[in-house]
Structure 1
Amino acid sequence: MNRIQEMIEHLHAGNLEDAMKIYAELKRTGTDDEKYEAAEALYSLGFQEKSIELYEDLIELYPEETELVMLKAEAHAELDQIEESMVLLEEINESSEFYSRAMLLSADLYQMQGLHEVSERKLLQAYEAEKNEEIIQFALAEFYIQQGRFLEAIRFYKMLSSEEIAGVLICKRLGECYSAGGSFEDALPYYEESLEHERDAETLFQYGFTASQAGHHSTASEVFEELIEVDAEYHSAYQLLAKSYEHEEQIDKALEAAEKGLKSDPFNKELFLTAGKLALKSGNEQKAEEYLRQAVAIDPDYLEAALVLNKILLRQEKPDDCLDVISTVRESGEDDPQFLWDAARAFEMREDFSQAFEEYKKAYVVYNDHSDFLEDYGKFLVEEGRQKEALEIYLKLTQKDPTNEVWQMNVEHLRHD
């Protein structure tokens, strides 16, 4: 067993003191080849500081060997010693066979610092030096997809002849690019190809989502069903499955999917909202109310759920419950103009007409061009004996729709009163 193998075995066994004794001996008396081999071994085992010391010894002896400079730069980069690494990389010029490798590492280091334009420039310099090198084409494609520049990413991914690089399926990346760029139909074949390699949860989700966006809701529902079988804890799949069934007008299946999701993820406010809306579509107002109350209980700021819930409560003539919902949401710091209209109707149901009038007046500022609101407000004003204000409202309504006979009749009555 040579000294390097002995040092490696000590490191694997955790005998650091014995390993460092051999390292010190190698550094002092080892041949150049032994130092090079030892430096590589130490780098791969995570002892980059020691590998740097050996590379420094070798660079003193062979200052023209840019490979040693490159290896030392990589070791500094592993230690997050970015400045030290960059200084070394600047020494490697276009005449070196390691130039492209140096540009790739430079690009990584600049990107880590958020200097994306410089990073791109370094990648393009590497590409100009070796246009047919797949690892450079891949690096550029990965850079562009991270920057959201999907057309440029597609261009470089399509240059690659390899199916997979660095554990990344190229067809899957192409699917991601087309989907993220809104070309959902173009993305589908690439996801289908990806699934031939592995039907994993992530790819199934991306394929299902893309199929849904492309309007292939039947395909999407099949894919999401499979995904849930693969991973029942993939919570976002239930929402999309419910939406896919809803698009197919299969409301019962959609509600079943949402309810199944809630068993797996009982604090998902979006899923409670979806379940509430689907229950409403299926004609079950009681179940809809329960789900929507749960959504608001989870998040009192959840305006959309509160607004849908209030529609049900007002239709069921539960004004106190409606006002409670408005109060809860407002106390959480949220508000919506619709609450003014809802509150006006709720106070009217409670026969608190003075308060209803105050809410209607505030709502009128927002909804003065909204026919449904104006009709509610006009009826209220007539019942309250406020003919002058009511006439003003109905005149506005008849201007919006002169063919509405009911509104015209109300104008005539109010003018004669």
Structure 2
Amino acid sequence: MMPFIRVMENGDIEKLGVMLDAFLLEGDPDEQYELADMLTEYGFVQEALKLLEHLNFIFPEEDQLKIDQAQLYLELNKEDDALEMLSNIEKKSESYPQALLTLADYYQMIGLYEVAEHKINEAIAILPKEPLLQYAKGELLFETGRYLEAARLMEELLASQNELQGVNLPLKVAEIYSAGAAYEEAIPYYTDALKKEAAPEVLFQAAYAFFQARQYETAAKHLNHLLEIDPDFFSGYMLLAETYAMLEKNEEALEAITNGIARDEFEKEYYLFAGKISLKLGRVKEAESFLQQAIALDPEYMDAIYILSSLFSQEEMDEELIELYEALKQEQFEWSSMYPLLAEAYERLEMYEKAYEFYKLAYTEHKEDVAFLEKYLYFLLEEGKREEAKEIISKLQKLQPENSEWFDMME
């Protein structure tokens, strides 16, 4: 088979065709069948089909060949040919359950899940102890969101074996439970799966389950192991930072996310998280820098804009807040949630006309916000705009009828 392998690896289709024609005439049927499997594996489906058509002609009674050929027809989107070939396999044939399973795979692929389940159940009725059929049904239940049924079926399989055709069954059960948000149930299976192989993806999935189950120390342990063996597993940095934050280890959280930034400097969520953690640590300038970088990556990143705006407002960094607004405006982005903050900033800067402009703009969307209305009211009173102030007092009376201050003020 080596000459065929070399030609396939070189991608020489013309030479492969010549060799194949000669092999059809001279080759042993067993070797031809082996080559068909190899051609399929390398992606030469048409050539593999040619061999199987030849073998089917020689051995028309071999139903396994019909199934193999039907599977290639499905890969080539020749569904009608595949279905016709599978329908020719009689119920008394030993290959009939496999034909049913192939049909189930096809119906599952096109979204006809009830038909697919019916075919699998028919096959299971013939071979009730066949693990592959039980696994196929479990996968179908998993895909259709019937997580508890799927998990129980896979657990039955797991009672007799840990692996099925290369599938790590504990990991499969863990994934099913996680998909159904049953993280506590998933954890023991992730632990078993990791005993076989601590692959990066499995470590991440396990860590996520531990995180969701609030077992943060174990989640952090798995994530640190993950990033040791694969420093470019970018999702691990964010989850590790979040884990440390839940443990109130904010210094470690900041270190984890800055390590992530060093690996992927274009991930805006890293900068946002770093900004939040810096604020928790009281590092205002660092927080500002991280948030500015997040906005630089995405000028319409609302979460970062809101936190940075709030930071500027809280710290009374009024000129910086106005500068941020003007920069966003140049990017054709304007966000009404900034208006109350801008109104207060202009008021503190004694730019009362601009403050009035933004108070009016903010009022449109903040008519039910008592805290905003109160600030707006006292601004209007300071500016001598008594008629407008009356409107705001009326609003406050409706929102807080138990507060006598507003009624006294109106009188």
What TM-score results when the alignment is normalised by the length of structure 2? 0.86
Q: Which residue of 1 aligns with 2:284?
A: 285
Render the CA deviation track for 1:299-353: whole Å, top value 9, x for unaligned.
1111010000001112233334323433444565655441222232233234332
Match for 2:162: what amino acid? E
Q: Which residue of 2 aligns with 1:25?
A: 25
Render the CA deviation track for 1:103-162: whole Å, top value 9, x for unaligned.
121222233334444333322322232221111111122223233331232122112122
Q: Give the aligned CA root-mean-square deviation in angstroms.
A: 2.7
Does structure 2 retain, via aligned residues, the 8 Å contact 1:55–1:72? no
User: What secondary structure is seen at the aligned counterpart in 2 of 1:94?
Assistant: coil
Partner Cα separation in structure 2 for residue 216 and residue 223 of structure 1: 11
Tell me by how many angstroms 1:210 deviates.
1.0
Equivalenced residue count is: 395
Tell me by how many angstroms 1:415 deviates.
4.7
Render the CA deviation track for 1:366-400: whole Å, top value 9, x for unaligned.
22222221222122122212234335535654665
1:336/1:175 CA distance change after superposition, 3 Å: farther
Matched, 1:220 2:219: yes
Unpaired stretches in structure 2, ≥5 consecutive residues: 8-14, 40-46
Does structure 1 retain, via aligned residues, the 8 Å contact 2:33–2:52? no
Tell me by how many angstroms 1:76 deviates.
3.0
Partner Cα separation in structure 2 for residue 144 and residue 83 of structure 1: 26
Partner Cα separation in structure 2 for residue 9 and residue 286 of structure 1: 65
Partner Cα separation in structure 2 for residue 373 and residue 321 of structure 1: 21
Match for 2:71: what amino acid? E
My pick for the range that moved more, 197-206 or 105-114, is 105-114
Partner Cα separation in structure 1 for residue 18 and residue 401 of structure 2: 98
Match for 1:268: what amino acid? E
Q: Which residue of 2 aligns with 1:5?
A: none
- Aligned ranges 1:4-403 → 2 under 5 Å: 8-14=1-7, 16=16, 19-20=19-20, 22-26=22-26, 34-35=28-29, 37-46=30-39, 47-59=47-59, 62=60, 64-160=61-157, 161-329=160-328, 336-394=335-393, 396-397=395-396
Partner Cα separation in structure 2 for residue 337 and residue 18 of structure 1: 70
Identity of aligned residues (%): 33
Tell me by how many angstroms 1:207 deviates.
1.2
Partner Cα separation in structure 2 for residue 173 and residue 369 of structure 1: 50
Partner Cα separation in structure 2 for residue 208 and residue 9 of structure 1: 44
Tell me by how many angstroms 1:73 deviates.
2.2
Unpaired stretches in structure 1, ≥5 consecutive residues: 1-7
User: What secondary structure is seen at the aligned counterpart in 1 of 2:271?
Assistant: helix
Q: Which residue of 1 aligns with 2:12?
A: none
Tell me by how many angstroms 1:221 deviates.
1.9
User: What secondary structure is seen at the aligned counterpart in 1 of 2:365?
Assistant: helix
Match for 1:150: what amino acid? Y
